[in-house]
Homo-oligomer: A and B are copies of this chain.
Amino acid sequence: MSTLIVQKFGGTSVGTPERIKAVARRVAAERRGGADVVVVVSAMGHTTDELTKLAAAVTTDARTAHPRELDMLLTAGERITMALTAMAIRDCGIEAISLTGSQAAIITDGTHTGARIEEVRADRVRTELGRGAVVIVAGFQGVSRAREVTTLGRGGSDTTAVALGAALGADRCDIFTDVDGVYTADPRRVPDARVLRAVDFDDMVELAASGAQVMHPRAVEIGARFNVPIRVLSSFSDDTGGGTLITRRKGHMEELALTGLASAGGQAKVTIRGLPPSMAALTAIMTVLANAGVSVDTLAVADRADGRRQLQITIHESDIDRCVELCHEQVELLGGAAVDVQRGLSKVTLVGSGMTGLPGVYARSLEALLAAGVDVHAVGTSSVSISFLVDAAVEDQTLQSLHAAFDLAKETE
């Protein structure tokens, strides 16, 4: 059986007719090499922004830009790219056919502008591959069981590509983007950051969720669940062997394996003091925030010697006003003392699935930050990461000192 590769090209990679032709030449070369190829494309460059502006221009009330009609409008974007890409590939002498999300049977739930993929019925794609065609599938879009056109929301095209890879049992899913791969840290902030040759799925989910822009975590999660190796590489480089391979890594024994750093600005810390120490009070506050759509990142509870409880949460700055108003209401209702807010924070996350249960990581991190004069406002942890909440002004120093402390610039293996 021949190799099957899914290749995804984002909006910048297909931003002009010239770039579409470059994509076509790359795909044609892969096909001539003998592989079956499925191509997933996003809308060209700024098409989505332009369509969104048109929607704003025809409505006086943004709420009338109905999610269903927005989806109908925006899906025109990939439709244009996929047809042009098919034409350009055919122009290279390779048979090609484009399919909408509906034709490729990307079945989603009915949540317009943010649908989840439920199933990919890849029969049509398989039939077209079987007759030797390169199949171009519109990214970002799907169809609900009620036959309504849906879009997948953020990270949609990556998600389409990896989901197709999973459904087809692809050997690999290539995500072409405008950077060279996944870095140990943002190279604009950490000058000696390097491209990782390989990353474990879990680490990549954590990096993506912690602010690494290169891929959306939901696409990586599908890759992890269905074990589809994902390669992230630049569409502007001819080095097809480069990039980062995201895959299931063979177990490491006791080695302290750290992968990289990610960071996200725009964070805020809200502290509610003097609460009664009951589960009921805690639950009430978290429920009120959830119902208001305030997304809480980290949560820490501290019980004081006087029997009162202190609750500390981190949220995105855009949610501050709503959050503080609701917290004040709850403080009145439940009997609390005060609500404090600290804005202008950044979250820096150190990722590495090898760190599990290794207390040395905390110590080495905090020593490095102390030496760099960085004050940490909060710490969060997961099984594969540690996050430090710091002032935005010292975000770069934090990244640089952690990058150095764990020797991330040095290639392992």
Contacts and interface: CB of A to CB of B under 8 A. Distances in A.
Interface of A: 17, 20-21, 24, 51, 54-55, 57-61, 64-66, 68-70, 72-73, 75-77, 79-80, 82-88, 90-91, 97-98, 100, 103, 147, 149
Main secondary structure of the interface of A (DSSP, over half): helix
A75 B79 contact: yes
Contacts of A83: 55, 69-70, 72-73, 76
A12 to B, nearest CB: 16
Contacts of A77: 76
How many copies altogether?
Answer: 2
Contacts of A58: 17, 20-21, 24, 84-85, 87-88, 91
A87 B103 contact: no
A65 B20 CA distance: 14
Contact of A98 (B65, B69, B88): B69
Nearest 10 interchain pairs by C-beta:
A17-B57, A73-B83, A72-B83, A76-B76, A58-B88, A64-B90, A64-B91, A59-B91, A76-B79, A69-B83
A86 B60 contact: no
A70 B78 CA distance: 14
Given A65-B87, A72-B83, A73-B84, 6 more contacts: A54-B84, A64-B90, A66-B90, A69-B98, A75-B79, A76-B77
A83 B83 CA distance: 20
Q: Which of A17, A61, A87, A149 has the most CB of B within 10 A?
A: A87
B68 A54 contact: no
Contacts of A84: 54-55, 58, 69, 73
A42 to B, nearest CB: 14
